[in-house]
Structure 1
Amino acid sequence: MHIRTYLIAIGLLSSCWLTFPASSYGQDSVAVLYDIIPVKTFVGSRATLQNSQLNSTPATGYLPALTGRIPGFYTQQTSGFRQINTAVNYNVDAFLGNRPITGAGVPSENTEYNISLRGQTPIVVIDGIQRDIFSIDPENIESITLLKDALSTIALGQRSSRGILLISTKTPRAGKTNISFSAQAGLQEPLFLPKPLPSYQYAYLLNEALTNSGYQPAYQESEFDAFRLGNTPYSYPNTDWYKNVLRAHAPLMRYNLGANGGGKTAQYAIALNYTEQKGLFNEDPGVAYNTNASLKRYLLSTNVHINITERFSLGLQIMGRIQDGNEPGVGMNNLLQALKKTPNGSYPNKNPNGSWSSTNYFKDNLQAMATHSGYRQDNMKDVMANVDLGYDLNNVVKGLSIKATTNVAVQSLTGIVRERKEPTFRMVIGPSGDTTYTSIANAVAQKNDFNTVFNARFWFGQIGINYDRTWQKHHLNGSIMGDQRRTLFNYDLPAVATNLTGKLFYDYLGKYLIQGALNTSGYNRYRPGYQYGVFYALGVGWNVSEEPFLKDQSAWLNLLKLRATYGKTGNGVDNSGYYDFRSTFRSTDGRIGSGVYSAGTSRSELRGFWENTTLPNVRTWEGAHKLNIGLDASFFENKLSLVSDIYYDRYFDLLQTRGKSIELIGISYPFENIGRTTMKGAEFQLTYQQQKGELSYFVTGNFSIEQSKITFFDEQQQHYPWMQVTGLPIGVRMGYIAEGLFQTSEEAAKSASTDGYEPQPGDIKYRDLNNDGIINQFDQTPISNKKPRLYYGLTVGFCYKGFSVSALFQGVENRQIYWGDGTIQSGFQGFGGYEQAYTPVLSRWTPETAMSATYPRVTIGNTYNYATSSFWLRSGDYLRLKNVQIAYDFPKQLANLLKLQGLQLFANAINVATWASFKGQDPEVAIGAYPIQRVVNLGITIHL
Structure 2
Amino acid sequence: MSIFTKPFMVLLCCIFIFVGNVAAQEVTAAKPNNQPKTDSLIADSLRKLKQLIYFSTPKNLSTASSAMVLGKEFNTTPVVAYPLALAGRLPGLTVSQTSGEPLNEGFSYRLRGQSPLVFIDGIPRSVTEISMEEIESVTVLKDAVALAMLGVRGSGGAISIVTKKGSPGKQQISFTGQWGIQKPLQNLISNPLDAYSYAQLYNEAIVNDGLSVANNGFSQAALNGFQSGNNPYLYPNVDWRDQVLKNSAAMARYNLNTSGGNNYVKYFINLEHIKQDGFLKTSDLNSNYSTNAGVKGYFIRSNVDVNLTDKLTAGIYIQGRILNKNNPGNAAVDNIFSSLLATPNSAYPVYNANGTYGGSSQFTNNILGQSIGSGYSLSNTRTVLTDVYLKYALDDITNGLWIKARASFFSNLNENIVRTKSFAVFEPIGISGTGESTYRQFGTNSEQGNINSINFQNRSDFQELSIGYNRTFEKHGFDAVVLANRDNLVNGTNLPYTIQGISGHVAYNYDEKYLAEISFAQNGANRYPNNGGFRYGFFPAAGLGWNVNKEAFLKDLSWVNNLKLYTSYGKSGKNNTAYYTYMQVYNASPTSYFGSSAAAGTTAGESYLANPNITWEKAKLFNVGLDGTLLKNQLSFNVEYYSNSYSDLSIVRGNNSGLLGISYPEENIGRQKYYGWDAQINWSQKFREFSYFINANASLQNSKLIYSAEANQRYAWMYRTGHQVGQNYGYIAEGLFQNQQEIAGYPTIEGYTPQPGDIKYRDLNGDGVINQFDQTTFGSEHATVFLGSRIGFSFKGIDFSALFQGVINQQIYLSGNSYREFQGGTAQAYETQLSRWTPATAATATYPRLTTSSGPKNGAPNNFVSSSYWLRNGNYVRLKTIEMGYTLPPAISKKVGLKSTRIFLNGLNLYTWSSDTFNGADPENYSGGYPIGKVFNLGVNIQL
Instruction: Using the TM superposition, name which of 423-432 and 134-143 deviates more.
Output: 423-432
The 8 Å contact of residues 529 and 612 in structure 2, kept in 1 or not, is answered as no
Offset of residue 192 of structure 1 = 1.3
Gap change, CA 1:674 and 1:25, over 3 Å in 2: closer
Gap change, CA 1:257 and 1:19, over 3 Å in 2: farther
Offset of residue 755 of structure 1 = 4.2
Partner of 2:584: 583
Instruction: Using the TM superposition, name which of 118-127 and 527-536 deviates more.
Output: 527-536
Report whether the alignment pairs 1:214 with 2:199: no
Partner of 1:334: 335
Gap change, CA 1:282 and 1:611, over 3 Å in 2: same
Query: What is the rounded CA distance, in whole Å, between the counterparts of 2:595 and 2:849 in structure 1?
Result: 44
Offset of residue 846 of structure 1 = 1.1
The letter of the residue matching 1:668 is S
Offset of residue 816 of structure 1 = 0.8
Alignment partner of 2:918: what SS?
coil
Report whether the alignment pairs 1:687 with 2:682: yes
Partner of 1:27: 47
Partner of 2:404: 403
Alignment partner of 2:348: what SS?
coil
Alignment partner of 1:356: what SS?
coil
The letter of the residue matching 1:230 is G
User: TM-score under structure 1 normalisation?
Assistant: 0.91
Partner of 1:64: 84
What is the CA deviation profile of residues 816-865 of structure 1, one whole-angstrom value per residue up to 9, with x for unaligned ones?
111114432x32224xx211111111111111111111011112124131
Gap change, CA 1:619 and 1:25, over 3 Å in 2: closer
1:847 to 829, 835, 839: 839
Query: What is the rounded CA distance, in whole Å, between the counterparts of 1:904 and 1:703 in structure 2?
Result: 32
Partner of 2:715: 720
The 8 Å contact of residues 240 and 344 in structure 1, kept in 2 or not, is answered as yes
The letter of the residue matching 1:740 is G
Offset of residue 490 of structure 1 = 2.7
Equivalent residues in 2 for 1:798-813 (5 A)? Answer: 798-813=793-808
Partner of 1:113: 107
Offset of residue 28 of structure 1 = 5.3
The letter of the residue matching 1:426 is E
Report whether the alignment pairs 1:147 with 2:141: yes
Partner of 1:675: 670
Partner of 2:358: 357
1:709 to 704, 708, 718: 704
What is the CA deviation profile of residues 766-806 of structure 1, one whole-angstrom value per residue up to 9, with x for unaligned ones?
22223344433222211232111111111111111111111
Gap change, CA 1:464 and 1:378, over 3 Å in 2: same
Report whether the alignment pairs 1:560 with 2:558: no
Offset of residue 419 of structure 1 = 2.9
2:547 to 520, 525, 543: 543
The 8 Å contact of residues 102 and 276 in structure 2, kept in 1 or not, is answered as no
Query: What is the rounded CA distance, in whole Å, between the counterparts of 2:543 and 2:587 in structure 1?
Result: 50
Partner of 1:232: 231
Equivalent residues in 2 for 1:124-139 (5 A)? Answer: 124-139=118-133
Query: What is the rounded CA distance, in whole Å, between the counterparts of 2:669 and 2:873 in structure 1?
Result: 34
User: TM-score under structure 2 normalisation?
Assistant: 0.91
Offset of residue 450 of structure 1 = 2.1
- The size of the alignment, in residue pairs, is 887
The letter of the residue matching 1:615 is A
Query: What is the rounded CA distance, in whole Å, between the counterparts of 1:891 and 1:878 in structure 2?
Result: 40
Offset of residue 403 of structure 1 = 0.7
Query: What is the rounded CA distance, in whole Å, between the counterparts of 2:878 and 2:758 in structure 1?
Result: 36
Equivalent residues in 2 for 1:767-782 (5 A)? Answer: 767-782=762-777
Gap change, CA 1:270 and 1:28, over 3 Å in 2: closer
The letter of the residue matching 2:522 is T
The 8 Å contact of residues 821 and 851 in structure 2, kept in 1 or not, is answered as no
Equivalent residues in 2 for 1:323-472 (5 A)? Answer: 323-330=323-330, 331-430=332-431, 435-443=437-445, 446-472=448-474
Offset of residue 680 of structure 1 = 0.5
Offset of residue 477 of structure 1 = 2.1
Query: What is the rounded CA distance, in whole Å, between the counterparts of 1:853 and 1:617 in structure 2?
Result: 56
Partner of 1:204: 200
Query: What is the rounded CA distance, in whole Å, between the counterparts of 2:318 and 2:226 in structure 1?
Result: 62
Alignment partner of 1:913: what SS?
strand
Partner of 1:856: 848
Offset of residue 227 of structure 1 = 1.9
The 8 Å contact of residues 341 and 818 in structure 2, kept in 1 or not, is answered as no
Offset of residue 445 of structure 1 = 5.0
What is the CA deviation profile of residues 329-368 of structure 1, one whole-angstrom value per residue up to 9, with x for unaligned ones?
2221111010112111211110001111112222211110
The 8 Å contact of residues 679 and 698 in structure 2, kept in 1 or not, is answered as yes
Offset of residue 551 of structure 1 = 1.4
What is the CA deviation profile of residues 426-480 of structure 1, one whole-angstrom value per residue up to 9, with x for unaligned ones?
1123498652101133345543222212222211000111122221111122221
Equivalent residues in 2 for 1:69-80 (5 A)? Answer: 69-80=89-100
Partner of 1:7: none
The letter of the residue matching 2:498 is V
Equivalent residues in 2 for 1:775-790 (5 A)? Answer: 775-790=770-785
Gap change, CA 1:753 and 1:377, over 3 Å in 2: farther
The letter of the residue matching 2:764 is L
2:60 to 40, 46, 61: 40
Gap change, CA 1:368 and 1:26, over 3 Å in 2: closer
What is the CA deviation profile of residues 671-695 of structure 1, one whole-angstrom value per residue up to 9, with x for unaligned ones?
1111111110101111111111111
The letter of the residue matching 2:546 is W
The 8 Å contact of residues 63 and 568 in structure 2, kept in 1 or not, is answered as yes
Offset of residue 488 of structure 1 = 2.1
Partner of 1:901: 899
Equivalent residues in 2 for 1:757-776 (5 A)? Answer: 757-776=752-771
Alignment partner of 1:388: what SS?
strand
The letter of the residue matching 1:850 is A
Offset of residue 370 of structure 1 = 1.0
Alignment partner of 1:55: what SS?
coil
The letter of the residue matching 2:303 is N
Query: What is the rounded CA distance, in whole Å, between the counterparts of 1:201 and 1:391 in structure 2?
Result: 77
Equivalent residues in 2 for 1:185-334 (5 A)? Answer: 185-194=179-188, 195-217=191-213, 218-221=217-220, 223-287=222-286, 288-330=288-330, 331-334=332-335
Gap change, CA 1:193 and 1:674, over 3 Å in 2: closer
Gap change, CA 1:558 and 1:424, over 3 Å in 2: same
Query: What is the rounded CA distance, in whole Å, between the counterparts of 1:419 and 1:752 in structure 2?
Result: 56
Equivalent residues in 2 for 1:749-764 (5 A)? Answer: 749-764=744-759
Offset of residue 297 of structure 1 = 1.1
Unaligned runs of 5+ in 1: 1-17, 85-110, 598-605
What is the CA deviation profile of residues 627-686 of structure 1, one whole-angstrom value per residue up to 9, with x for unaligned ones?
111111111111111111110001111111223343433222221111111110101111
Partner of 2:814: 819
Partner of 2:829: 837
The letter of the residue matching 2:519 is A
Alignment partner of 2:833: what SS?
helix
1:658 to 645, 653, 672: 653
Gap change, CA 1:821 and 1:684, over 3 Å in 2: farther
The 8 Å contact of residues 28 and 40 in structure 1, kept in 2 or not, is answered as no
The 8 Å contact of residues 209 and 828 in structure 1, kept in 2 or not, is answered as no
Alignment partner of 1:699: what SS?
strand
Q: CA RMSD in A?
A: 2.1
Partner of 1:524: 526
Query: What is the rounded CA distance, in whole Å, between the counterparts of 1:147 and 1:390 in structure 2?
Result: 25
The letter of the residue matching 2:553 is F
Offset of residue 614 of structure 1 = 2.3
Query: What is the rounded CA distance, in whole Å, between the counterparts of 2:83 and 2:804 in structure 1?
Result: 16
Unaligned runs of 5+ in 2: 1-37
The 8 Å contact of residues 388 and 406 in structure 2, kept in 1 or not, is answered as yes
Report whether the alignment pairs 1:614 with 2:609: yes
Instruction: Using the TM superposition, name which of 606-615 and 857-866 deviates more.
Output: 606-615
The 8 Å contact of residues 811 and 880 in structure 1, kept in 2 or not, is answered as yes
Gap change, CA 1:700 and 1:943, over 3 Å in 2: same
Alignment partner of 2:162: what SS?
strand
Query: What is the rounded CA distance, in whole Å, between the counterparts of 2:210 and 2:97 in structure 1?
Result: 42
